[in-house]
Amino acid sequence: MATCETRTVPFVLVGAGGVGAALLEAIVGARALHKARYGIRFSALAVCDSSAAVSGADAAGGLSDAEIAALIAHKASGGKLASQSGAVVRPAEQDASVFLESLVDKYSKEAPDTIVVDCSATDATVPALLKAATTANMRAASANKKPFADSSFRNFRELCLAPTSPARVRYESSVGAGLPVIAALARVVSAHDAVTLISGSFSGTLGYAGESFSAVVGKAKELGYTEPDPRDDLGGVDVARKALILARTLGMALELSDVVVEPLYTPELAELSVPDFLAALPTLDAAFAAKVAAAAAEGKVLRYAANVRPPAADGTGGGSLKVGLVAVPASSPLGTLSGSDNLVEIYSQWYAATPLVLRGAGAGAGTTAAGVLSDMVELANTRG
Amino acid sequence: MATCETRTVPFVLVGAGGVGAALLEAIVGARALHKARYGIRFSALAVCDSSAAVSGADAAGGLSDAEIAALIAHKASGGKLASQSGAVVRPAEQDASVFLESLVDKYSKEAPDTIVVDCSATDATVPALLKAATTANMRAASANKKPFADSSFRNFRELCLAPTSPARVRYESSVGAGLPVIAALARVVSAHDAVTLISGSFSGTLGYAGESFSAVVGKAKELGYTEPDPRDDLGGVDVARKALILARTLGMALELSDVVVEPLYTPELAELSVPDFLAALPTLDAAFAAKVAAAAAEGKVLRYAANVRPPAADGTGGGSLKVGLVAVPASSPLGTLSGSDNLVEIYSQWYAATPLVLRGAGAGAGTTAAGVLSDMVELANTRG
């Protein structure tokens, strides 16, 4: 029988609001489970936002649960970490990426088995994540899409496709929050099951149908399902990012600029301010309703979906990644989707007649944090 | 950047027909991928069936790909491994479980990082898997349900719920073949996301509707989707086994005898021979058609499903596991299921309004072997 010694698993968290705060809460809530079931205890060596990094009074021992609770409350009240006592404040002239990289550098020496956790929404974390991924024993878990989608394929390959990557890097919540899309796809890949198509609705905002277009978007924004500027969703770039991460996970050497994206709004709405854009949305309703009706006449429904087609095994075909409005049979998994769920279909050698389907909530701080926490537990059990 | 050295990952395979043969083929086919992407090479130290264990001419180096191909051909032609040259034949008086345990014992000394892979359908592998799970550095991957369902909860706990288990034991293909149900559930558990209900159709045989009951069962048997005696499916015991494995993964201390199972055939058909049972099946058609019609009148469809209800977080409720015919809304994920796909819904804190859904092929040697191979790649990256 196993010994019941508890291993301390140190981590450094970047991003302390929203998802980051939810992650810290989940970690504290899961202490008894993690000890009993996995023999581990997560220890926050530092928590950072764009202003500063905060460590506990006992720096080597990590932040205490009381210090974590105080930090969450401070952030929830709108405070910056720089105003916390003992904070290491980022010098105003220093780039955020340099600040974060130097922090990771410090822990790579002091606590080399640290997990670098990215719950921010910045691409300033790229150097820090690369550092963690390529430093012996360090590990990285990220809910942040940008280091995997906005950064170059070369960076992605170094982060996620190196032989050491499975042991060092996890990025589940960068696509569909905690919905285990990356985990499922990674299993399909490792089993050498050739993927022929990934088709997915990755955006809670855009999965709706049946109401007027402007009403659906307005409601989604109210519920916090959209980015601050809804065009980040409606323009398809957020969907493109998620689909690109899946395509790259298959090994496809694509850049974000290679993705063919059909936005859901007309070019003349692109330059407006956010309030003006929201006010102008009803002008799109009639054209959208006509498309819905045309699809319905064929027994189909509209979905805003991404289609990833890898090159054929014999190297022909080249592969493609397209994001746009598609009409799908109402009875297909994607067609039966309703509400704000995400849905991903994976077609492959072993999922040929019918796809492997994952469906469920794909947004929200709680489920996003849950995905990161699962990633951290997996990393705690990997070999460096 | 990572070094590109290739690590050899030794394994011993129990079960060389069907799934075992498909696994060996997949491993040979995936050699280039596994080297490039994961820096690993799987090496079969021994392959066993109930008659014998076979090693390669170069025992320490594992079976060559040519030896593997010859072995697959030998088994496909109906041969036993005992008739292969160099086979270590099980003594007639020795119990299969003792034979397998002694083999694992041998490799735990000679190659302590060996993965013990169970692609058999016997419970004789329990001691061998327990040995692997509890010996420092050894690992176990299984497509075989019986060690996890027919064996005691005490054994399951030692295999799968010990702090060292995540690094040592994988059993994805014991439920729904390669469909990543266990992987998804393990992530929900590790994120401390409290599960309130798992509802699933785990049996390709029984997911159909619309045809006569006897026609559906006859067709499923022809396609090889049923166990040799279809009552193993229709009696619900196979579904009960799969659901029990999910319940136990949540930590529920249940035995197979605790599962409440409603069979799909009447008691008088229980004692017949297989041919007589098949001949008598049409006598059930009228009653089944009446149930289908009654459900349809309410907008519902019939599914043969398992429902796992864990105890509430406050310890009330006790929890339950029931297998039987249920009427579900036609528009629910389970209701929209057709064909022979498996479908599992997981309701939890973060999947409350709508469940986390996994759907796809849940049977077949190819997809079952794919699930085992993913498990092996994961184990190759774990720390002992």
Q: Which of B179, B333, B350 sits opposite A366 (nearest CB)?
A: B350
CB B143 within 8 A of CB B369: yes
Residues whose CB falls within 8 Å of the CB of residue A107, separated by 6 or more in sequence, listed in order: A10, A12, A45, A46, A114, A116, A138
Q: Do A191 and B373 touch (CB under 8 A)?
A: yes
A7-178+366-380 and A188-360: same fold? Answer: no
Looking at domain A7-178+366-380, what is its CATH homologous superfamily?
A: NAD(P)-binding Rossmann-like Domain (3.40.50.720)
As a whole number of angstroms, the distance between CA A145 and CA A123 comes to 9
Q: What pLDDT, on the 0 to 100 scale, is given for residue A375?
A: 98
Q: Does A207 lie at the interface with B, CB-CB under 8 angstroms?
A: no
Burial class (CB in 10 A: 0-12, 13-18, 19+), A78: exposed
Domain residue ranges of chain A, discontinuous segments joined by +: 7-178+366-380, 188-360
Q: What is the DSSP letter of B330?
A: T
Q: Under an 8 A CB cutoff, do A351 and B361 touch?
A: yes
Alpha helices in chain A (DSSP H): 18-29, 31-33, 65-76, 96-110, 126-134, 146-149, 153-160, 165-168, 181-190, 213-222, 231-234, 237-249, 274-280, 285-296, 333-336, 365-380
pLDDT band at A205 (very low <50, low <70, confident <90, very high): very low
**ipTM of this complex:** 0.93
Choose among B341, B321, B348, B355: nearest CA to B201: B341
Q: What is the pLDDT of residue B213?
A: 87
Look at the block and give the residue holding tokens 């080399």: A112
Q: Does B197 touch chain A (CB under 8 A)?
A: no
Check if the beta carbon of residue B239 is closer than 8 Å to that of residue B323.
yes
Say which of B145, B242, B291, B300 is annotated catalytic.
B242
Work out the percent of chain A whose per-residue pLDDT is above 70: 96
Residue B37, chain A, CB below 8 Å: the answer is: yes
φ, ψ at A321 (rounded to 5°): -140, 115
* CATH class as words, domain B186-361: alpha beta
Q: Which two tokens stand for residue B299?
A: 């907008």
Closest among B197, B153, B180, B200 to B308, alpha carbons compared? B197
- Highest average pLDDT, of A146-160, B278-292, B336-350, comes from A146-160
pLDDT in tens, A78-120: 999 999 888 999 999 999 999 999 999 999 999 999 999 999 9
Contact at CB, A183 and B180, closer than 8 angstroms: yes
What confidence tens digit (pLDDT) does each residue in B340-379 have? 799 999 999 999 999 999 999 998 999 999 999 999 999 9
Confidence tier at B155 by pLDDT (50, 70, 90): very high
The confidence score (pLDDT) of residue B127 equals 94
Q: Is the pLDDT of residue B205 over 50?
A: no
**Which residue, among B140, B207, B131, has the nearest Cα to B170 in the 3D structure?**
B140
Say if residue A208's pLDDT is above 60.
Answer: no
Active-site pick, A106, A242, A291, A300: A242
- Asked if residue B296 has pLDDT above 80, the reply is yes
Contact A360 B356 (CB under 8 A): yes
Closest CA to A47 of A13, A86, A8: A13
CA–CA dist A240, A229 (Å, integer) = 16
- Tokens 């399951």 -> residue: B156
| pLDDT range class, residue A122, cuts 50, 70, 90 | very high
Please give the pLDDT value at position B316: 67
| A residues 277-336 lying closer than 8 A (beta carbon) to B | 331, 333, 336
Which of B190, B197, B348, B358 should one mutate to test binding to chain A, selecting the residue with the greatest count of A CBs within 10 A? Answer: B190
> Under an 8 A CB cutoff, do B370 and A161 touch?
no
What share of chain A in percent tops pLDDT 90?
Answer: 73
B162 lies within 8 A of chain A by CB: yes
Q: What is the mean pLDDT of chain A?
A: 91
Tell me: pLDDT of B10 over 90: yes
Contact between residue A360 and residue A342 where contact means Cβ atoms under 8 Å apart: yes
CB A188 within 8 A of CB A347: no
Mutation choice for A interface testing from B3, B33, B158, B187 by most A CBs within 10 A: B187
SS3 A156: helix
β-sheet with B88-89: strand ranges across: B88-89, B52-54, B40-48, B7-14, B115-118, B139-142, B169-170
Mark yes or no for CB contact B339/A354 under 8 Å.
yes
Residue B55 contacts residue B110 (beta carbons within 8 Å): no
User: With an 8 Å Cβ cutoff, is A65 touching chain B?
Assistant: no
Residues of B in contact with A1 (CB under 8 A): 134, 158, 162
Find the mean pLDDT for residues B216-231.
Answer: 82
Q: What is the pLDDT of residues A322-380, one digit of tens each?
A: 999 999 988 888 888 877 799 999 999 999 999 999 999 998 999 999 999 999 999 99
As a whole number, mean pLDDT of residues A221-244 equals 86
pLDDT band at A59 (very low <50, low <70, confident <90, very high): confident
Which CATH architecture fits A188-360? 2-Layer Sandwich (3.30)
What is the least distance, in Å, from the CA of B271 to any CA of chain A?
Answer: 37
